[in-house]
Chain A
């Protein structure tokens, strides 16, 4: 004897953007920013600012981020122009990879020197 059970309909899943939350850690933003900064030709070295016990180089607040970087720049290169290029490139990269909007990027050129690549 067979019994027919009425088909059980599953409860519909919530829409994708309500099924979880993605959080991006400060460290991720600072790492992406460092890699992006190193892609600028005049930049020879990048260190995320901050020591292990001080605030990280990247700080995420909601969908915005603040980044601080220490860089070493080749000499002679026009430092304000390098900074502008660096800022633009890092902001674009972070936005493309995380969707975060970098509202502020502080740059300290700790070391100037070495030849242009």
Chain B
């Protein structure tokens, strides 16, 4: 789902919610006798003689009108369904923009490479990376082995993973934030022969 679709969904839900609230509120008000008795009394049934005569008087073209309205609703609903599959344009980081062409790198591709690089440390069980912003910032989430000293992990990040990012993007400075959670190392499997 793209950001635009999400916004559309929120608006659609808000409008539908508003319409239902108004309808429900007015039905409740009618039931409690809040409207004047000669206009919409709580005593009379909802489909009374007035409604029936309205439909018989305006028949048959009223049914065409209702069919048209149903068709419009169906088209809108179908469009809503199709729009759900819409994705944001690929997020790319522009490295160069010269007269001979543009060079871009996909943020997710770069993030995968960084995560795989962090995971190459034996102290790391799992790593996920995100690249944020036009001047890329690296956000890392690392699950590390609690039995390995923390210095090992920070050494791996500061001497291997982050220099690789700086080299790849050819920048002197790439800010990085790592959130580390520690987990016990999995108990060694006992092999029964």
Which of B101, B113, B116, B168 is the one whose CB lies under 8 Å from A87?
Answer: B101
Interface residues of B in 89-130 (CB under 8 A from A): 90, 92, 95-96, 99-106, 109-110, 112-113, 116-117
Take A112-B113, A113-B113, A113-B116 as given contacts and tell me if A76 and B168 are in contact as well, using a CB distance cutoff of 8 Å: yes
**Contact: B101 with A111, CB < 8 Å?**
no
**Contact: A77 with B168, CB < 8 Å?**
yes
How long is the Cα–Cα vector from A73 to B96 in the complex, in angstroms? 16
Which of A75, A81, A103 is the one whose CB lies under 8 Å from B113?
Answer: A75
**Contact: B170 with A107, CB < 8 Å?**
no
**Contact: A104 with B100, CB < 8 Å?**
yes
User: Which chain A residues lie closer than 8 Å to B165 at the CB level?
Assistant: 76
**Contact: B105 with A112, CB < 8 Å?**
yes
In this complex, how many residues of chain B approach chain A with their Cβ under 8 Å: the count is 24
Which of B92, B96, B109 is the one whose CB lies under 8 Å from A83?
Answer: B96
Residue B169 at the A interface, CB < 8 A?
Answer: yes
**Contact: A112 with B167, CB < 8 Å?**
no
CB of A48, distance to nearest CB on chain B (Å): 15
**Contact: B103 with A83, CB < 8 Å?**
yes
CB of A67, distance to nearest CB on chain B (Å): 8
CB of A75, distance to nearest CB on chain B (Å): 4
Contact with B along A96-114 (1 / 0, CB 8 A): 0000000111111111110
Given A73-B105, A80-B96, A107-B104, 10 further pairs, Cβ under 8 A:
A75-B164, A77-B167, A78-B168, A80-B95, A104-B101, A108-B104, A109-B109, A110-B109, A112-B110, A112-B168
Write the residues of chain B forming the contact surface with A, with a CB cutoff of 8 angstroms: 90, 92, 95-96, 99-106, 109-110, 112-113, 116-117, 164-165, 167-170
* Cβ-closest 8 pairs across A and B: A76-B164, A75-B113, A109-B105, A83-B103, A112-B113, A113-B113, A105-B101, A111-B109
